[in-house]
Chains A and B, each alone.
Chain A
Amino acid sequence: KAGVTQTPRYLIKTRGQQVTLSCSPISGHRSVSWYQQTPGQGLQFLFEYFSETQRNKGNFPGRFSGRQFSNSRSEMNVSTLELGDSALYLCASSPGDRARFRKQPQHFGDGTRLSIL
């Protein structure tokens, strides 16, 4: 079974630009969550999509947005990039229904390393 796939692996952008990251979950998984990892703040939850709807949201500004398609693939968009957005962005997939969330781990991809110049 293929794992969680994130593309691209590396991105370099400049301040003010926007960027779109992609995540393909494990086949059959309907929930995709996004996390930001920085040396200072560690791993922080951005948002979670389930069946094309945002089900949970973290404490990030509106410049961070996402969406999920009918095949469960998800994209995350960051607009008006700032230097502080430099981070490793990880996505995780899981089956999605709440009962199984409690019993099964989330599976993470290898992330997209975003660098802002």
Chain B
Amino acid sequence: KQEVTQIPAALSVPEGENLVLNCSFTDSAIYNLQWFRQDPGKGLTSLLLIQSSQREQTSGRLNASLDKSSGRSTLYIAASQPGDSATYLCAVGPEKLVFGKGTKLTVNP
């Protein structure tokens, strides 16, 4: 049974800092891994999707990497801003997404 773990559960950083969020999964037989953002009381916003054949994806200040063999992914956020404050979730797919419990990020002005 696939299990996804995210560390840390919460993270507080000053504005402008570069940071890394971690995601690990137990079964390397995945088709893709997705990173989502969730604001309080809202649904999920897709940030990046990495297919199993890819090593990384980039979108603006976000970069996600995938190492299938070690069962790990990281989400790198450059030059963090207060607007980045949210819970970040990773999920392995493709269809029946299995989610981690998320990292709650607070960026302090």
Contact = CB atoms under 8 A, between A and B. Distances in A.
Interface of A: 4, 6, 31, 33, 35, 42-45, 48, 55-56, 58, 90, 92, 98, 101-111, 113
A56 B98 CA distance: 13
Interface in B29-68: 31-32, 34, 36, 41-46, 49, 51-52
Interface of B: 31-32, 34, 36, 41-46, 49, 51-52, 89, 91, 93-102
A33 B95 contact: yes
Most buried by A among B43, B93, B98, B100: B43
A104 B95 CA distance: 11
Given A90-B43, A102-B31, A56 B100 contact: no
Contact of A48 (B44, B89, B96, B100): B96
Given A42-B99, A42-B102, A102 B43 contact: no
Nearest to A48: B95
Contacts of A105: 34, 46, 49
Contacts, number: 65
B102 A106 contact: no
Contacts of A98: 94-95
A108 B43 contact: yes
Contact of B31 (A33, A101, A106): A101
Contacts of B52: 102
